C-alpha cells in the first residue's frame, strides 16, 4: 500500500498570514491537531509548512507572547517533510521515524497537496494486518488438527486389516462358547484371478454342550 491510498484527503489548510487565534479556532472546529500551510504556485496548492497544536503551546502560550499580533507564519515549521503519494507506507513510516514527526503532507508528482498522513493511520493499518495474520495462523492450526483427526479415524477403521498379499485378519460370527482361530492367513492360489476367501483353521467349543435330558 502506498501513502496516497492511506492518507486522509480532507486536509484542513491555512495561509501563513492567518492569525494564530484564527488558526487555533480552525483546529478546534475541525477537531484536528495540525494545519497544513499552503500557497498557490503555478495554479497548484502547494504545502510550504505545517502548524501543530504543540507549536502554539510552546511558541506562543509558554512564551507569553501577545497572540493578537502573531500569525501562522511566525510559528509554523518550515522544515516540512513531504512524501509522494506513490511512496510506500513502509518507506514513509521510516522517514517519519527518522525525522521524529507524527504527520506528513502527501503530494502529487506536480507538488500539489493530495492529503495528509498521520502516524495513527499507519498504526491502525499495521494493527489490522497483524489481526489478519493471527486469524490465518489460527485457521491453519484448525485445519492441521482436522487433518490429524481424519487420519486417526481412518487408521482406526483400517485396524486389523492388512494387504492381501501379506495376509489378513478377519472376524466372523460364531456360536456362543466357541473359539475360532483366523489369523494372518495366506490366501491360497486358485485358478481364478482373485485370492481365495479366508479359511477357518479350527473351531472348538470351550466346554461340551450340556446333555439333553430324557423325558420318561
Most confident of 59-63, 90-94, 128-132, 190-194: 90-94
Residues 149, 141: contact at Cβ < 8 Å? no
Q: What is the DSSP secondary structure assignment for residue 45, as one 8-state letter? A: E
Residues 114, 36: contact at Cβ < 8 Å? no
pLDDT tier for residue 148 given thresholds of 50, 70 and 90: confident
**Locus of grid cell 507506507:** 89
**pLDDT, greater one: 43 or 169:** 43
| Residue 40, pLDDT above cutoff 70 | yes
- Lowest-confidence range among 16-30, 37-51, 90-104, 133-147? 133-147
Burial class of residue 44 in the structure, from the number of CB atoms within 10 Å of its CB (0-12 exposed, 13-18 middle, 19+ buried): middle
What are residue 2's phi and psi, to 5 degrees?
Answer: -105, 170
Residues 107, 82: contact at Cβ < 8 Å? yes
**Nearest-angstrom CA–CA distance, 116 and 136:** 32
| Residue 206, pLDDT above cutoff 70 | no
State the span(s) of the chain assigned CATH 3.10.580.10: 3-124
Q: Residue 27 is placed in which grid cell?
A: 483546529
Q: 93-129 burial string, b = 16+ CB within 10 Å, else e?
A: beebeeeebebbbbbeeeebbbbbbbeebbeeeeeee
For the chain, the 3-state helix, strand and coil shares in percent, each to the nearest 5, are 40, 20, 40
**Nearest-angstrom CA–CA distance, 28 and 46:** 23
Residue of 114, 74, 113, 120 whose CA lies nearest to 96: 120
pLDDT of amino acid 152: 79
Q: Give the global pTM.
A: 0.60
Which CATH number applies to 3-124: 3.20.20.70, 3.10.580.10, 1.10.10.10, 1.20.120.420?
A: 3.10.580.10
Average pLDDT over residues 94-113: 94
Amino acid at each position: 500500500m502506498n501513502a496516497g491510498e492511506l492518507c486522509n484527503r480532507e486536509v484542513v489548510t491555512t495561509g501563513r498570514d492567518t492569525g494564530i487565534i484564527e488558526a487555533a479556532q480552525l483546529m478546534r472546529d475541525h477537531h484536528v491537531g495540525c494545519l497544513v500551510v499552503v500557497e498557490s504556485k503555478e495554479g497548484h496548492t502547494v504545502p510550504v509548512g505545517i502548524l501543530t497544536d504543540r507549536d502554539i503551546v510552546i511558541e506562543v502560550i509558554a512564551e507569553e507572547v501577545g497572540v493578537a499580533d502573531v500569525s501562522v507564519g511566525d510559528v509554523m515549521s518550515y522544515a516540512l517533510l513531504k512524501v509522494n503519494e506513490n511512496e510506500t507506507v513502509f518507506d514513509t513510516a521510516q522517514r517519519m521515524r527518522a525525522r521524529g514527526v507524527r504527520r506528513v503532507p502527501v503530494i502529487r508528482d506536480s507538488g500539489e497537496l493530495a492529503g495528509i498522513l498521520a502516524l495513527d493511520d499507519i498504526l491502525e493499518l499495521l494493527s489490522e494486518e497483524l489481526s489478519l495474520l493471527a486469524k490465518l495462523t489460527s485457521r491453519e492450526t484448525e485445519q492441521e488438527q482436522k487433518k490429524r483427526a481424519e487420519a486417526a479415524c481412518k487408521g482406526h477403521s483400517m485396524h486389523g486389516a492388512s494387504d492381501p498379499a501379506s495376509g489378513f485378519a478377519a472376524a466372523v460370527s460364531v456360536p456362543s462358547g466357541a473359539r475360532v482361530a483366523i489369523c494372518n492367513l495366506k490366501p491360497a492360489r486358485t485358478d481364478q484371478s482373485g485370492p481365495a476367501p479366508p479359511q477357518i483353521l479350527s473351531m472348538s467349543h470351550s466346554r461340551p454342550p450340556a446333555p439333553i435330558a430324557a423325558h420318561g
